C-alpha cells in the first residue's frame, strides 16, 4: 500500500479529525501510487494518521476513510459504514426518506446517498469514491433490496477530480417519477430531472416548524421549488398561500403537488424572479402574515462571500418589508461559506434598514439526517430562522 507523509506542521484540522488532506500539507508520497488508490498516511515522524484514497490531481489530495490501522477498506467496509449510517437514522426517528450518507459526516467523504423510501439516489463526487460505486450499489442491494438506484453525477465538481459528468440508472430502469410521504403529505420527486438529487430533504424537519404560525395566515413563499413549504403551510391551516419560483418546471411540479394533496384551492404558484417581484410588491405596499424565503446557495467560492451576503441582505430586507407588523419571516440560507453568525448579522442589518424589530422564534440548522460533526465546519451548512417582525 502506498504511503503518504505529511509536513511537519500537520494542520490542526487533520489532527482534530477532519478527513481532508490538501496537497500543500503533503511532504512526500512513497512508492508508485495510482489515482484513486487507498494509501496509508503518516506524520513526518512516522506516526500513523489513517487510511484514505488519494488523487494527486485534486487539491484535496487524500480523503481519510478510517483512523484505524487494522481496518481494511474493502467491500465489507462500505457495507458496514452504510449499515451504521442507516442504524443511526432509524435511531433518531427516520423511517422512509432521509439522506442516508452525508459524505464526511458519515465518514465516507464525497459520497451522497438520498433514500426516498425504496429508491436511492447517489452522487460520487470524487475519483476515490467513484471507484467504489459498484461496491456501494451492492451494499444498498443487500441492506435495502431497493426498487431502484439512480446516479445524479452531472455535477461540475467531478471535473476537478478528472471525472465526467453523468446521470443514469445503477439498477434495472424504473419510473423515475416517484411519490414520497413527508409529515403526512405526499410529494412527487423527479429523480431524473429534479434539482440536485430531486428533492431537498435537508429542510424536512424545518418544514414542521411553521405549523403554528401559518394558521389562518396569508402566506407568501418564495424560491418554492416543488412547493414543499407552501403545501405544508396550506396543510397546517393557512388561509391563502402564494408560491413563487423562477423555474417554470418547478412551478408546474408545485401545482401538481398541491393537487396531489387536495390543497389546490388554497395554494397558487407563479413563475417569477423573487428579487424583482418582492421589490415591486414592497413599493405597492402589499403585506402578508407570513413570508418565507428559501433561496439557492449564492456562492461556492470565498471570493464571492460579500456578494452572497449582499444578496441575503437584499432579499431579507424585501421579505421583512412585506411582512405585516406582528407577522413572521421564515428565512433560510444553504450557503456553506456563510456562517450562522454571519447570517444572523445580515438579517439584523436588514431589519434595521427596514426599521423593524425582530423577535426570534427559532434558529436551526439542516434536518438531523444531515449530521453536523463537530470539528468539520462544512457539515454545518444550513441556516433556518423564524422571527416575528414587530
Residue 187 interacting with ligand SAH (CB under 6 A): no
Cβ contacts of 49 within 8 Å, gap of 6 or more: 6, 10, 14, 41, 42, 43, 64, 67
**Cell (9 digits) for 90:** 432509524
Residue 247 interacting with ligand SAH (CB under 6 A): yes
b/e per residue 224-263 (b: at least 16 CB within 10 A): bbbbbbbbbbbbbebebbbbbbbeeebbebbbbbbebbeb
Residue 252 interacting with ligand SAH (CB under 6 A): no
Smaller CB distance to ligand SAH: residue 225 or 343? 225
Q: What are the CA-CA distances from residue 384 to residues 211, 334, 352, 363 (Å)?
A: 15, 9, 20, 6
Among the listed residues 250, 267, 290, 347, the single contact to ligand SAH using CB under 6 A: 250
* Binding range to ligand SAH, per CB under 6 A, among 16-24, 150-158, 269-277, 299-307: 269-277
Smaller CB distance to ligand SAH: residue 266 or 272? 272
Q: What is the CA radius of gyration of the chain?
A: 22
CB 102 within 8 A of CB 379: yes
Q: How far apart are CA 215 and CA 211, in angstroms?
A: 7
Residue 281 interacting with ligand SAH (CB under 6 A): no
Among the listed residues 29, 131, 135, 246, the single contact to ligand SAH using CB under 6 A: 246
Q: How far apart are CA 342 and CA 259, in angstroms?
A: 38
Question: Which of 195, 369, 223, 215 has its CA nearest to residue 294?
Answer: 223
Smaller CB distance to ligand SAH: residue 55 or 222? 222
Report, in Å, the least distance between residue 241 CB and ligand SAH.
13
Report, in Å, the least distance between residue 197 CB and ligand SAH.
12
| 3-class DSSP assignment, residue 95 | coil
Among the listed residues 223, 288, 312, 328, the single contact to ligand SAH using CB under 6 A: 223
CA atoms 26, 29, 34, 39: torsion sign? negative
Ranges within 224-243 binding ligand SAH (CB under 6 A): 224-226, 228-229
Smaller CB distance to ligand SAH: residue 39 or 201? 201
CB 318 within 8 A of CB 374: no
* Binding range to ligand SAH, per CB under 6 A, among 154-162, 209-217, 251-259, 290-298: 290-298
Residue 41 interacting with ligand SAH (CB under 6 A): no
Report, in Å, the least distance between residue 85 CB and ligand SAH.
23
Report, in Å, the least distance between residue 95 CB and ligand SAH.
20
* Binding range to ligand SAH, per CB under 6 A, among 7-15, 112-120, 174-182, 272-280: 272-280
Among the listed residues 275, 305, 336, 388, the single contact to ligand SAH using CB under 6 A: 275
Residue 116 interacting with ligand SAH (CB under 6 A): no
b/e per residue 3-41 (b: at least 16 CB within 10 A): ebbbeeebeebbeeebbbbeeebbeebeeebeebbbbbb
Ranges within 294-333 binding ligand SAH (CB under 6 A): 294-296
Please give the residue ranges that form the binding site for ligand SAH (CB under 6 A): 195, 200, 203, 223-226, 228-229, 244-247, 250, 273-275, 294-296
Amino acid at each position: 500500500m502506498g504511503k503518504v507523509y505529511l509536513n511537519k506542521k500537520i494542520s490542526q484540522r487533520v489532527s482534530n479529525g477532519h478527513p481532508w488532506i490538501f496537497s500543500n500539507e503533503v511532504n512526500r508520497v512513497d512508492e508508485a501510487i495510482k489515482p484513486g488508490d487507498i494509501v496509508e498516511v503518516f506524520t513526518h515522524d512516522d506516526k500513523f494518521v489513517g487510511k484514505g484514497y488519494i488523487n494527486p490531481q485534486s487539491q484535496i489530495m487524500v480523503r481519510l476513510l478510517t483512523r484505524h490501522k487494522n481496518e481494511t477498506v474493502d467491500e465489507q467496509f462500505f457495507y458496514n459504514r452504510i449499515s451504521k449510517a442507516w442504524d443511526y437514522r432509524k435511531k433518531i426517528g427516520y423511517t422512509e426518506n432521509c439522506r442516508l450518507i452525508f459524505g464526511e459526516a458519515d465518514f465516507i467523504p464525497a459520497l451522497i446517498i438520498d433514500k426516498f423510501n425504496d429508491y436511492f439516489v447517489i452522487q460520487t463526487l470524487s475519483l476515490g469514491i467513484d471507484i467504489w460505486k459498484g461496491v456501494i450499489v451492492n451494499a444498498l442491494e443487500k441492506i435495502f433490496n431497493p426498487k431502484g438506484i439512480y446516479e445524479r453525477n452531472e455535477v461540475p465538481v467531478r471535473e476537478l477530480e478528472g471525472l465526467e459528468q453523468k446521470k443514469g440508472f445503477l439498477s434495472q430502469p424504473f419510473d423515475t417519477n416517484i411519490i414520497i410521504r413527508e409529515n403526512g403529505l405526499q410529494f412527487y420527486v423527479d429523480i431524473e430531472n429534479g434539482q440536485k438529487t430531486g428533492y431537498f430533504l435537508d429542510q424536512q424537519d424545518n418544514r414542521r416548524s411553521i405549523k403554528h404560525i401559518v394558521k389562518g395566515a396569508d402566506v407568501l413563499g418564495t424560491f418554492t421549488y416543488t412547493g414543499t413549504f407552501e403545501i405544508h403551510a396550506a396543510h397546517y391551516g393557512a388561509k391563502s398561500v402564494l408560491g413563487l419560483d423562477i423555474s417554470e418546471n418547478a412551478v408546474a411540479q408545485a401545482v401538481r403537488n398541491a393537487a396531489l394533496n387536495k390543497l389546490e384551492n388554497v395554494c397558487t404558484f407563479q413563475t417569477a424572479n423573487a428579487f424583482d417581484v418582492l421589490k415591486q410588491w414592497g413599493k405597492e405596499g402589499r403585506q402578508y402574515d407570513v413570508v418565507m424565503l428559501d433561496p439557492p446557495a449564492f456562492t461556492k467560492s470565498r471570493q464571492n462571500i460579500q456578494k452572497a451576503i449582499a444578496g441575503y441582505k437584499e432579499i431579507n430586507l424585501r421579505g421583512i418589508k412585506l411582512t405585516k407588523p406582528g407577522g413572521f419571516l421564515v428565512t433560510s440560507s444553504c450557503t456553506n461559506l456563510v456562517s450562522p453568525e454571519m447570517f444572523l448579522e445580515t438579517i439584523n442589518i436588514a431589519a434595521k434598514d427596514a426599521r423593524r424589530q425582530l423577535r426570534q422564534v427559532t434558529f436551526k440548522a439542516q434536518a438531523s439526517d444531515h449530521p453536523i460533526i463537530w470539528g468539520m465546519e462544512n457539515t454545518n451548512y444550513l441556516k433556518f430562522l423564524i422571527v416575528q417582525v414587530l
